[in-house]
């Protein structure tokens, strides 16, 4: 029950009413018996810095930050962790004694999901398809956590090059267009789709971002699209016997890290996943 004692965190975005963050975080707070609650607050583009200031004033304990505020919030915070400094975007704010510290948990969330599934990317060769914000976080986290070689493939090659530049200095990185994606996929351990290809309701609904013929049983295949949960890419990967991680994996694990930052407690990922599946009208699997 929400009472005067309840500690409030908020997810800000535009749009934000579709966000799965409140159901995931509130399930985790309830599971831990914490007197905490998350609400979704629509904040218009350009008002991210004002939202940080308002949240600080109102004693909000933390923010989850989604599009289009990730860069504005990173800039507006009083402190930024090393990954936020490198990427220039944040998805999490912690207020402590009035100071706002910005973090980004997206890339580490995906790496955590891989490690939980028994596929540590340390030492792995990785193909990342797409070069948007999600891809940048993933390239940074995977290379920081030991991926041996990362290739970024994107429709627009110049963006792939910018994305590859987010890699940790020790890693071997490359950037290619989509024409060569099949050849590269066949020679790596992990393939990650960060594009919207295959998403329901788009022009590419039903499409594959990597030719099915390039997929192997030894692959870990990851899609960050979760509508549908079983994307055509994951269905093709499953058909060849590859291991798969669906689009809720990163979403859930980035939220687990947010909970750790806000409450210093680590909720079971399964609690957040069950809540997200319920909100999507899907049974637990």
Annotated catalytic sites, by residue? 70
**What does the binding site for ligand ATR look like in residue numbers (CB under 6 A)?**
130-135, 154-156, 159, 194-197, 204
Residue nearest to ligand ATR (CB): 132
Q: How far is the CB of 131 from ligand ATR (least distance, A)?
A: 4
- Per 3-state DSSP, what percentage of the chain is helix, strand, and coil (rounded to 5)? 40, 20, 40
Closer residue to ligand ATR in complex, CB, 143/195: 195
For residues 121 and 130, which CB has a smaller minimum distance to ligand ATR in the complex? 130
- Nearest to residue 167, comparing CAs of 87, 59, 97? 87
- Closest contact distance (angstroms) between CB of 57 and ligand ATR is 30
Q: How many residues are there in the chain?
A: 285
CB of 127 to ligand ATR, least distance (A): 13
Distance CA 43, CA 60 (A): 15
82 to 79, 88, 103, 104, 173: CA distances (angstroms):
10, 10, 8, 9, 20
Burial class (CB in 10 A: 0-12, 13-18, 19+), 117: middle
Strand order in the sheet with 149-153: 172-176, 149-153, 125-129, 190-193, 220-223, 243-245
Q: To the nearest whole angstrom, how small is the minimum distance from the Cβ of residue 175 to ligand ATR? A: 12
To ligand ATR, the closest distance from the beta carbon of 152 in angstroms equals 9
If the CB atoms of residues 247 and 267 are measured against ligand ATR, the closer one turns out to be 247
Nearer to ligand ATR, 116 or 196 (CB): 196
Nearer to ligand ATR, 60 or 65 (CB): 65
CA-CA distance, 64 to 254, in Å (whole number)? 10
Q: How many Å apart are CA 119 and CA 190, to the nearest integer?
A: 9
Here the tokens at position 70 are 């990730």
């Amino acid at each position: 029950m929400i009472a005067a004692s309840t500690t409030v965190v908020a997810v800000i975005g535009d749009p934000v009413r579709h966000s799965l963050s409140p159901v995931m975080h509130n399930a985790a707070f309830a599971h831990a018996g914490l007197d905490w609650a998350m609400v979704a607050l629509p904040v218009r583009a350009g008002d991210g810095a004002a939202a940080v200031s308002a949240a600080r004033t109102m004693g909000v304990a933390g923010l989850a930050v989604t599009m289009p505020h990730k860069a504005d919030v990173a800039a507006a915070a009083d402190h930024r962790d090393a990954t936020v400094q490198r990427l220039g975007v944040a998805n999490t704010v912690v207020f402590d004694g009035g100071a706002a510290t910005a973090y980004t948990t997206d890339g580490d969330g995906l790496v955590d999901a891989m490690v939980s599934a028994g596929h540590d990317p340390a030492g792995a060769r990785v193909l990342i398809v797409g070069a948007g914000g999600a891809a940048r976080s993933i390239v940074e986290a995977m290379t920081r956590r030991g991926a041996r070689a990362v290739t970024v493939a994107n429709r627009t090659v110049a963006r792939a090059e910018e994305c590859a530049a987010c890699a940790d200095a020790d890693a071997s990185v490359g950037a290619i267009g989509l024409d060569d994606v099949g050849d590269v996929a066949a020679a790596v351990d992990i393939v990650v789709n960060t594009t919207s290809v295959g998403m329901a309701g788009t022009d590419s609904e039903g499409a594959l971002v990597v030719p099915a013929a390039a997929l192997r049983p030894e692959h870990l295949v990851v899609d960050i699209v979760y509508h549908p949960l079983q994307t055509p890419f994951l269905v093709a990967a499953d058909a060849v016997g590859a291991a798969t991680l669906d689009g809720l994996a990163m979403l859930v694990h980035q939220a687990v890290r947010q909970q750790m930052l806000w409450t210093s407690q680590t909720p079971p990922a399964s609690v957040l996943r069950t809540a997200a599946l319920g909100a999507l009208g899907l049974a637990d699997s």
